[in-house]
Amino acid sequence: MQVIDIHNHFFPRSWPDLAARYGSPNWPWIKHTEPGKADIMVGDRFFRHIYAACWDPEVRLQEMDRDGVDLQIVSATPVLFAYERPVEHAADCAQLFNDAALELCSRGKGRLKSFCQVPLQDVDAACKELSRCIRSGHLGVQIGNHVGLKNLDDAGIATFLHHCADEGAAVLVHPWDMFGSERMPKYMMPWTVGMPAETQLSVVALILSGAFDRLPSTLRICFAHGGGSFAFLLGRLENAWHHHPVARGDCQYPPKHYLNRFYTDSAVFDERTLQFLVGTMGADRVMLGSDYPFPLGEERVGSLIRQSNLPQQTKAKLLSANATRFLGLESNSRAADNKSDAAGSSPIAPEPGQLTYSSYLKVPELLQLQQPQSSPPHHDELLFILVHQSYELWFKELLHDLDAVVANLRRAGAAPQSRDEVYEAARLLRRCTEITRVMVEQFTILETMLPTHFLAFRGLLEPASGFQSEQFREIEFLCGLKDEKMLRYHRPTPEAYASLKRRLEEPSLHDVFFGALQAMGKLAPAREGATDKEQFEARARAVHALYRDERHHRDWIDVCERLTEFDELVVSWRLRHIQLVERIIGIRMGTGGSAGASYLKLTLDKKFFPELWEARTMLTE
């Protein structure tokens, strides 16, 4: 059994002078006082005594051996969050300490892993840093339990949590910046009284707001310090929920229902409290967390669990199994198990008739679908077919997601107070942009085909042409770029013709987006007799107004940003396609009868959401 401590902290031995770097006062810095000892200072103010375990992996590993801990997941500390600072400073600061964490872990003999920190005051920047960190080896993220006045159910923070689930990142919520501090100036009361209450507030906010109903169940989130006062006061919350409608909030079920949606650590320092916590949360939901090596941490990490009267099986869960699941390390250990199974030559053989990889994915059918025209088949024709087919598959997924975006925005318009649909639209749009990014890249594979090799079978393809890609045209129509003339290329295939005609008549993503702004009162219905230009300007002004009121429209701005990015990436796709065409056939005519590259260049000015671009010009005026 591998004993894992999911809540402990580090400070690097040194770091740049942040006050000078950002030109603003009161950043944390480290003052080494004697060998192996240091003080953390915030500006001129003393903050905390620390010792070498914070920065020296050798010391940490010795103390881990002493305490019987195999793996620590280190986090920086809330004093470095910088959520109240300009986002670019917070993002830079996060990068600095995230890279320092990896550097420390690289010297930890495989026994140190890390959680990163992110500039949580800005969703995009936070998501970006999280993705970077997960790619570079962090297992998850430590976040503060609030950003100024925003609790964890805030729209932007919920989007970030969604992103963590998508990225498979574990989330450790740490209380910080405690409320009521002015009434607790002494005796470390912000830590002993404020922190547990802050954490309780965060859990309750996520439950009552209905955020847990909307967040994916794959989100792995843990609250530090035994979840603060939450477990002890759950009965009070439950009673209020059942008897006072005003206390119910927006969640679908009573609060107890959500206990399987989060974890807590075990940092409660008292056996009866630990027993109570495990009794309330369940043995699968509490994990060893020590707050090591800080003054309020567990002195001998793991001793509370080990010395308790909990059953052996529960102790094993708290010390190891629950953290393995929380951190997403299960698949690794399972892979290791499978490896040893395979080595012991006992792989699982599926029974006849059971679902298999091939039968589920229809692999044999899929592999039958490439039928070259050349005979004998030219070597590169297979690639030509496969690349086009893979684009068509991505187009299919894009249509699937864009349809869902339209449905969500339509619902958002029908219920302007509800924000869930807006987040969901933004999340799906992010997928669309990622797919399009891959599609832009994919052309390079086809560029490995020599022009001469393409010419060897090009003649056989006429009059087939990309013009006839029904799904490509559907995407254009669905987004709002409708051109009835294009229908003529689809006359030979009645089904394609019919579905394109339907798209032509249906409200587009563009229509639904601005319809929702109208329903929210951000865009007045078009005045009778208003010219196209006037209507266009009114729509651009509505977008402009959203950006000007960022505090209230973060979620909608997120949608705007994603739509803009999608627009931008589709233009990149068009451009890369033209470069490919020029590289392979120069300025020859296309098999579809167009002037080729020179025709395609005319499509570069096409935009799905020109108002979003116009709004940018207005913003800079």
Contact positions toward ligand HEM, by CB under 6 A?
A: 387-388, 391, 446, 454, 465-467, 469, 472, 577, 580-581, 584-585, 590-594, 596, 599-600, 603
Residue closer to ligand HEM by CB (options 252, 448) is 448
**Nearest Cα to 30, choosing from 92, 100, 88, 90?**
100
In the bound state with ligand HEM, the residue whose beta carbon lies nearer, of 269 and 497, is: 497
Beta strand 140-144 pairing with 28-34: unpaired
**Is residue 266 within 8 Å of 289, Cβ to Cβ?**
yes
> CA-CA distances (angstroms) from residue 527 to 74, 231, 523, 524, 531?
60, 57, 11, 8, 9
- Give 177-242 as a DSSP string: S-TTGGG--STTHIIIIIHHHHHHHHHHHHHHTTHHHHS-TT--EEESGGGTTTTTTHHHHHHHHH
- Which lies closer to ligand HEM via its Cβ, residue 522 or residue 577? 577
- State the CB neighbour count (10 A cutoff) for residue 201: 19
- By the 10 Å C-beta count (0-12 exposed, 13-18 middle, 19+ buried), 148 is classed as exposed
The minimum distance between CB 600 and ligand HEM, in angstroms, equals 6
In whole angstroms, how close is the CB of 379 to ligand HEM at the nearest point?
A: 15
What does R_g of the chain's alpha carbons equal in angstroms? 29
Of 525, 516, 68, the closest CA to residue 305 belongs to: 68
- Contacts of residue 401, Cβ cutoff 8 Å, sequence gap at least 6: 428, 429, 431, 432, 435
First to last CA, the chain: 63
203, amino acid identity:
V
- Residue 469 CB, shortest distance to ligand HEM, in Å, is 4
Closest CA to 223 of 241, 208, 206, 209: 206
Q: Which is nearer to ligand HEM, 562 or 577 (CB)?
A: 577
Q: Which residues pair with 45 in a beta bridge?
A: 42
Query: What's the token pair of residue 232?
Result: 């002890």
Q: Which is nearer to ligand HEM, 290 or 471 (CB)?
A: 471
Closer residue to ligand HEM in complex, CB, 276/599: 599
| Least distance from ligand HEM to the Cβ atom of residue 390, Å | 9
Question: Judged by CB, which is closer to ligand HEM: 150, or 453?
Answer: 453
Nearer Cβ to ligand HEM, position 216 or 463?
463
Q: What is the SS3 assignment for 246?
A: helix
What is the nearest approach in angstroms of ligand HEM to the Cβ of residue 501? 17
CA distance 130 to 94: 10
Determine the length of the chain. 621
Q: State which residue, 179 or 599, has the beta carbon closest to ligand HEM.
A: 599
The residues, ordered by sequence, that sit 6+ positions from 510 with a Cβ below 8 Å of its Cβ are 479, 480, 608, 609
Q: How far is the CB of 581 from ligand HEM (least distance, A)?
A: 4
Identify which of residues 247 and 382 has a Cβ nearer to ligand HEM in the complex: 382
Q: How far is the CB of 536 from ligand HEM (least distance, A)?
A: 23
Q: How far is the CB of 595 from ligand HEM (least distance, A)?
A: 8
How far apart (Å, rounded) are the C-alpha atoms in residues 540 and 546? 10
Kindly state the smallest distance separating residue 357's Cβ from ligand HEM, in Å: 27
Q: What are phi and psi of 109, to 5 degrees?
A: 55, 35
Find the shortest distance in angstroms from Cβ 382 to ligand HEM.
Answer: 14
Backbone angles phi, psi at 113, to 5 degrees: -125, 175
Q: How far is the CB of 585 from ligand HEM (least distance, A)?
A: 5
Q: Note whether 170 and 220 are within 8 A (CB).
A: yes
Q: Which tokens in the block code for residue 455?
A: 């010419």
Least separation, in Å, of the C-beta of 547 and ligand HEM? 30
Single-letter code of the amino acid located at 294: F
Q: Which is nearer to ligand HEM, 209 or 591 (CB)?
A: 591
Least distance from ligand HEM to the Cβ atom of residue 461, Å: 9
Q: Tell me whether residue 202 or residue 591 sits nearer to ligand HEM (CB atom).
A: 591
| Pick 131 or 465: Cβ nearer ligand HEM | 465
In the structure encoding, which two tokens stand for residue 538, read together? 């009114």
